[in-house]
A and B are shown apart, each in its own frame.
Chain A
Amino acid sequence: MVLETTTTWHMACYTDDIPENGGACALIEGEQIAIYNFSRRGEWYATQNLCPHRQQMALSRGMIGSTGVEAEPKVACPFHKKTFSLKSGECLSGDDYVIKTYPIKIENGQIFIGME
């Protein structure tokens, strides 16, 4: 049997709404999605905005950066500086949390987030 998941692309905002090398939050279908403009690497990421540590809607306001030899892209929550991989959503500061990540694509200066 083949399990089919359909990804719907939602237009979130424009690329210049998101500061360079930083993030901002968009409201999509009632969900808070953090969008990151990793302009230094020409990459875009999207994750849930909720920090699982103290349930704060704050990840989009965190500082982004990278770590390790693989230069894993990450975001640090502004509240207690827990860090999360922007690729896998895994918590990189030793806790068991995993945050949701979303596919993201850019077309004509518009940002689209893929949701199931």
Chain B
Amino acid sequence: MKQKIIVVGNGMVGYKFCEKLIAKDTTKKFELIVFGEEIRPAYDRVHLSEYFAGKTIEDLTMAPASWYAENGINLILSDPIVDIDREAKTVRSHHGLLESYDYLVMATGSGAFVPPIPGVEKDGVFVYRTIEDLDLMQTHAKKATKGAVIGGGLLGLEAAKALLDLGLQEVHVIEFAPRLMPRQIDEAGSKVLQAKLETLGLQIHLNKNTQEIVGNGIIEAMQFADGSRLEVDMLVISAGIKPRDEVAKVAGLEVGIRGGIVVDNALQTSDPNIFAIGECALAHQMIYGLVAPGYEMAEVVATKILIGVDVASFGDAFIQEPHAQTIVFENSAKGIYKRINISNDGKYLLGGILVGDAEQYNMLLQNTKNKTILPPDPEDLMLGARGGAEDGASGVMALPDEALICSCEAITKGAIYHEIIENKVTTLDGIKKCTKAGTGCGGCVPMVKDLINETMKSQGVFVRNILCEHFDYTRQELFDLVKIKNFRTYDDVLDHLGKGDGCEVCKPAVASILASLWNEMILEKGNATVQDSNDRFLANIQKNGTYSVVPRIPGGEITPEKLIVIGQVALKYNLYTKITGGQRIDLFGAHVSDLPDIWEELVNAGFESGHAYGKSLRTVKSCVGSTWCRFGVQDSVSFAIEVEERYRGLRSPHKLKSAVSGCTRECAEAQSKDFGIIATEKGWNLYVCGNGGVKPRHAELLATDIDSETCLRYIDRFLMFYIKTAEPLTRTAPWLDKMEGGINYLKSVIIDDVLGMGEQWDAEMNLLVEAYKCEWKEVVDSPELRKRFTHFVNAPKVKDPNARFEPMREMVKAAEWK
């Protein structure tokens, strides 16, 4: 299905956005709807004054209505948007049209700012912004002789010139400041300009504050604060612009104090599905009242929406010549556009825009902030090293020692460099430990890694992304080796492939590999103590040292009998009980020594482990589907249960979540899961690589209208491929991000089997599925394993006196920690 973009506003920038999107969207992924408030398609406002000099509307029109039609754009004019429902993702127009969107682009521009002078509503008072304004002025001018303009800025002077062109005998310019164009030119320049304008026939009044517009229904004179008065029969107000943020504001988008829709570096508003461009956007605390920055913004957003690519801008991103030199690099085939703005003396980086490849972002930002003196070929900075000679001066190595690498912790490059060279700290962990760099938001981690690798390289050392100090292998290499050598325990792996005694990084990573490969009981063969604590105790450790108990409730379906058992267990062991976000029930506050007893009762009632503690399959959520729902087209609950039972207990590099929805309304939120399934009339659509959490990602469509068997086969292969190749603690979305060729490559591996691994993976998955046993049942049945669940080995009946609770509503919560 096509994604829908709605553009609000058909001005110069809104139009430019359409033009750019159409040019880039060669595969017609998007449907475009444009709402315009004005009665005609976008026209060139910059050359508006030429309308009086004889240009026609056609001359000024950016593109005729037929252009929109030819390009499949639905252009709706004379019908402004009055309301945005961000939750439902719909907009409503003045005439009552309701349209849904995937992305909304606000290009509402600005209106003339009209100061609250009494009398501004009188006939004969105009603003200068649209063709309508000009038409009205033209009609009125026929019977007027003396005109005035409030505002001596660029636009005001243009309006004054227009009044002369309209044949008025006297034209006055009223400026509040002591000089003309106070924001653009200096005192001396202003004097020269004034003299020039006076020879044209304009009368300039400085330091004048208009107090009232006098007249009986129609303007007759202007009354000033200094007591003077000017007879006029026509007035144009040009006192600045006011961003049109009224609809955005009502919709709850963040707006600036002085107006403008607040956007970030990627021109995203406070709602990630809504962008703002042009004169309505407040970027870097600035409204850019010029058209060129607006066009740049249109480019950024068109690309961003189209390919969902990296987009970043930094520093003074939209500054134009002659205030700066700009260097632009564009590779439209690859969807890359980069621009840097350099000071006129060529010394400093002022800002720039990166589209399609924002890898150099942090670097460029640092160069800008630190006012680094640029190398002779500054384009190297934005292009990265282009092969050939040594990468030399560009990149992180070129930054000065004072450059901040980690902004959260205020760690400079010099400090990190010092640790690498002087103290021989050459791992990311080491650097985190001794400098704290990278321990905050983590945004600088790539740069820290670069700095380590580059420094090492410069010392003649080759660096690889190895697991930790005990293993010289990447996770993928280790996975293959463990499999080939048929190792079953951590000690075997460490003895043969590693060195030292292991640590909290490699132990769980290897444990996860072993579990993924063999699906053996994780607490056996001495593997218990290499598990993360949660895996070792088959429960999640909570704030006071007690644990949570999460039985599996496949698909969210539960019988009354089982519900009652959960209630009884919770009562008996005084457990805080909560419905989770994953459609099941979590019981909190269990003492470690009670865990086996609790689980014994649960297992006897037919429950099994929910693996809430493991890097493994968590839940497969479902909606009620065709069994009850009047819209359901497939039995989503039954399929969710089947899927959950197939993959339960499967260990993977990170946790896995899934969901099955019974129709396109998607009540199970399948598109936010690592693999999600949505029913269609003909079968299922399979989506992969989505997640909620820290960085939410929508899943991507892998296959459409497949039957249940094909769906499971594709999921088998998808999961095997992921388990074998992902780095530790990498969920499916970032795994896909790093995959060359992205979703199309993934499709070719899973559907077309280009790697020829399909059959092997199918077989391996079947083995894992067959090897599944409930871990908790095994513990419950084994006195040896049960013995491990005590707080004090020498006093198994005594509970941890430090595990304190506080009452909360009718239950308990963990005592607050210090």
Contacts and interface: CB of A to CB of B under 8 A. Distances in A.
A79 B794 contact: no
Interface residues of B, number: 39
A20 B536 CA distance: 13
Interface in A31-66: 32, 35, 38, 40-41, 50, 54-58, 61-66
Interface in B481-502: 491, 500-502
A63 B433 contact: no
A18 B530 contact: no
A78 B528 contact: no
Nearest to B494: A40
Interface string B541-585: 100110000000000000000000000000000000000000000
Interface in A94-113: 94
B503 interface: yes
Contact of A54 (B491, B508, B794, B818): B818
Contact of A67 (B503, B507, B793): B503
Given A19-B529, A26-B794, A55-B817, A81 B803 contact: no
Contact of B794 (A20, A27, A50, A92): A27
A28 to B, nearest CB: 8
Contact of B501 (A32, A65, A93): A65
Given A41-B501, A79-B541, A27 B798 contact: yes
Interface in B783-803: 788, 790-795, 798, 800, 802-803
Contacts of A54: 817-818
Q: By CB atoms of chain B within 10 A, which of A12, A23, A27 has the most?
A: A27
Given A22-B528, A54-B818, A56-B545, A32 B802 contact: yes
A56 B804 CA distance: 11
Contact of A19 (B502, B533, B534, B788): B788
- Determine the interface band of chain A, counting residues with CB < 8 A from chain B: 35 or more
A20 B684 CA distance: 48
A79 B752 CA distance: 44
A76 B793 contact: no
Contact of B532 (A73, A74, A78): A78
Contacts of B545: 56-58
B533 A83 contact: no
Q: By CB atoms of chain A within 10 A, which of B507, B508, B533, B537 has the most?
A: B533
B117 interface: no
Given A25-B792, A67-B469, A81 B802 contact: no
Nearest to A18: B793
Nearest to A93: B433
Contact of B803 (A12, A57, A62): A57
B504 interface: yes
A21 interface: yes
A64 B533 CA distance: 11
Given A40-B491, A41-B501, A94-B436, A17 B794 contact: yes
A24 interface: yes
B392 interface: no
Nearest to A61: B533
B43 to A, nearest CB: 60
B427 to A, nearest CB: 10
Given A25-B791, A27-B798, A94-B436, A63 B501 contact: no
Contacts of B532: 63, 78
A28 B793 CA distance: 11
B504 A73 contact: no
Nearest to A79: B541
B794 A78 contact: no
B729 to A, nearest CB: 12
Contact of A63 (B504, B791, B795, B802): B504
Given A13-B794, A57-B803, A78 B541 contact: yes
Q: Summarize B's interface: helix, strand, loop or mixed.
A: loop
B526 interface: yes
Interface string B501-531: 1111011100000000000000000101110
A71 interface: yes
Contacts of A83: 504
Nearest to A94: B433
Q: By CB atoms of chain B within 10 A, which of A20, A21, A24 has the most?
A: A21
Contacts of B529: 19-23, 63-64
B383 interface: no
Q: By CB atoms of chain A within 10 A, which of B529, B791, B817 has the most?
A: B529
B434 interface: yes
Contact of B526 (A20, A62, A66, A74): A20
A50 B817 CA distance: 13
A27 B792 contact: yes
B788 A63 contact: no
Contacts of A41: 501
A61 B503 contact: no
Contacts of B500: 65-67, 71
Nearest to B436: A94
A95 B545 CA distance: 22
Contact of A21 (B530, B794, B795, B802): B530
Contacts of B792: 25-27, 32
A24 B792 CA distance: 7
Given A18-B793, A55-B818, A56-B545, A61 B537 contact: yes
Nearest to A22: B529
Contacts of A78: 532-534, 541
Contacts of B536: 22, 61
Contacts of B502: 40, 65-66
Nearest to A24: B793
A93 B818 CA distance: 19
Contacts of A94: 433-434, 436
B503 A65 contact: yes
Contacts of A62: 504, 533
A55 B802 CA distance: 9
A65 B530 CA distance: 10
Contacts of A23: 529
Contacts of B793: 12-13, 17-18, 24-26, 35
A81 B544 CA distance: 16
Contact of A76 (B501, B504, B537): B504
A76 B530 CA distance: 12
A50 B434 CA distance: 24
Contacts of A81: 504
A59 B589 CA distance: 19
A79 B818 CA distance: 14
A58 B543 CA distance: 11
Contact of A74 (B503, B541, B794, B800): B503
A21 B527 CA distance: 10
A65 B541 contact: no
Contacts of B526: 20-21
Contacts of B469: 67-68
List 3 A-B pairs, minimum CB-CB distance, nearest first.
A22-B529, A78-B533, A65-B503
Interface of A: 12-13, 17-28, 32, 35, 38, 40-41, 50, 54-58, 61-68, 71, 73-74, 76, 78-79, 81, 83, 92-94
Given A12-B793, A74-B503, A76-B503, 11 more contacts: A12-B794, A18-B793, A21-B529, A54-B817, A54-B818, A55-B817, A67-B500, A71-B500, A71-B501, A76-B504, A94-B433
24 contacts: A13-B793, A20-B526, A27-B792, A32-B792, A32-B800, A38-B501, A54-B817, A55-B818, A56-B544, A57-B545, A57-B791, A57-B800, A58-B545, A61-B533, A63-B529, A63-B532, A65-B470, A65-B506, A66-B500, A66-B502, A78-B534, A81-B504, A83-B504, A92-B433
